[in-house]
Amino acid sequence: MIFNKLTFNRVILLVYIFAFVYLATAIITFDTNKLLISILLGTVTYCYLLIALWQRNRLIPIKGSCKVIMHKDFVEWTHENSKKQEMEWEDIRKITIKSINSKDPSFASETWLRLHSYPWRKVMSIPSRATNFEELYNRVATLENFDKNQLAQVMRSEKGITKTVWQKKD
């Protein structure tokens, strides 16, 4: 269920749904004040949701070292600036490989392994230069129907592309 764990983004989604229902009642009752409030509230929350989803999928090259730590039940990614992400193995529903080519000369092109969980949860992006990346890649490459040829294709690409290498069958 999408609302089993109430986060800020889910509250915003609930507000958006409320604004849509409020809009419907405003149209039915011909109340202009309700109509204006619902349009304003709906527009603000819709813009927030678009920005939040855009930032969630956006990758920016990062400076500094990072490492992958694999545990029995979850994988953990840490950066030297104390940024940390975790994802349980059983939550992974899709794995993609993404390359980004930076126009900034101070950043090199980078390839990322992205672990996707349930919709509206999270995406864990791990750069290929991370310590223990090979170990993580070898572990996920053992999954049934994992396409091992995509990594080489993405790394050879001169432009930023994303390839799905594995998806869980439900």
Based on the domain organization, do 81 and 25 belong to the same domain?
A: no
Q: Is residue 83 part of a domain?
A: yes
Both 38 and 72 in one domain: the answer is: no
pLDDT on residue 1? 45
Domain identity same for 85 and 138? yes
Tell me how many domains the chain contains. 2
For residue 91, the enclosing domain spans 66-167
Residue 135 inside a domain? The answer is yes
Tell me, yes or no, whether 103 and 130 share the same domain: yes
Confirm whether 163 is domain-assigned.
yes
47 and 21 in a single domain? The answer is: yes
Q: What is the pLDDT of residue 106?
A: 58
Q: Would you say residue 78 lies in a domain? A: yes
Asked if residue 43 belongs to a domain, the reply is yes
Same-domain check for residues 50 and 80: no
How confident is the model at residue 55, as a pLDDT? 63
Same domain, 44 and 77: no
Q: Residue 163 in contact with residue 114, Cβ under 8 Å?
A: no
Q: What is the pLDDT of residue 54?
A: 66
Quick one: 84 and 140 in the same domain?
Answer: yes
Q: Is the same domain home to 51 and 84?
A: no
Q: Is residue 1 part of a domain?
A: no
- Same structural domain for residues 27 and 75? no
Give me the pLDDT at residue 70, please: 92
Each residue's pLDDT, cut to its tens digit, for the chain (170 residues) gives 445 556 666 777 778 788 888 888 888 888 888 888 888 888 887 787 777 766 655 666 667 788 999 999 999 988 888 788 889 898 899 999 888 776 666 556 788 888 988 765 688 888 888 899 999 999 998 888 888 888 778 877 777 788 889 988 87
pLDDT number for residue 73: 92
Domain-embedded: residue 3: no
